[in-house]
Amino acid sequence: MSKFPPSIIASLPLFGPTPLSRHGALRSQQRSIPPLIIDLLIDFGEESFAGEGCYRYFFTKRTWSFLIRRVGSRAKDLERYRSAYAVVSEDGQLVTVGWVH
């Protein structure tokens, strides 16, 4: 069950859940980054080439502002994930997630 209010989830046009590799699922759990945030990173974050056929997704000021405008007053529930990032392989599978330091 998601810890986010249903109104946040329902208000966002997600393209579907991202498949997780074994390592990606483990890192997501260890680093407390839920699947909703991974999907938001991919759907709304900035994309950059990470090497070896992978892409890195992260929030910039511009992409974060766009997301916050979409979410509205419920944005306070997402603020702690502003510095999260995700690495996704060419086939769309999550490789790892973490926090930008």
pLDDT for 85: 97
At 2 the pLDDT is 52
Give the pLDDT score at 76: 82
Over residues 74-90, the pLDDT tens digits come to 788 899 999 999 999 99
**What average pLDDT score do residues 15-41 get?**
88
* Statement: residue 5 has pLDDT above 80: no
Residue 23: which of 60, 1, 64, 54 has the closest Cα? 54
| pTM across the whole model | 0.81
Q: Backbone phi, then psi, for 21, in 5-degree steps?
A: -75, 170
pLDDT reading at 9 higher than 60: no
Domain that holds residue 60: 18-99
Domain count across the chain: 1
For residue 91, is it within any domain? yes
Residue 4: inside a domain, yes or no? no
Does residue 53 belong to any structural domain of this protein?
Answer: yes
Structure confidence at residue 6 (pLDDT): 53
Counting other chains too, the contacts that 65-74 makes at CB distance below 8 Å and 24 or more residues apart are 67/40, 70/11, 70/12, 70/44, 71/8, 71/11, 71/12, 72/11, 74/5, 74/7, 74/8, 74/11
What integer is the mean pLDDT of 18-47?
92
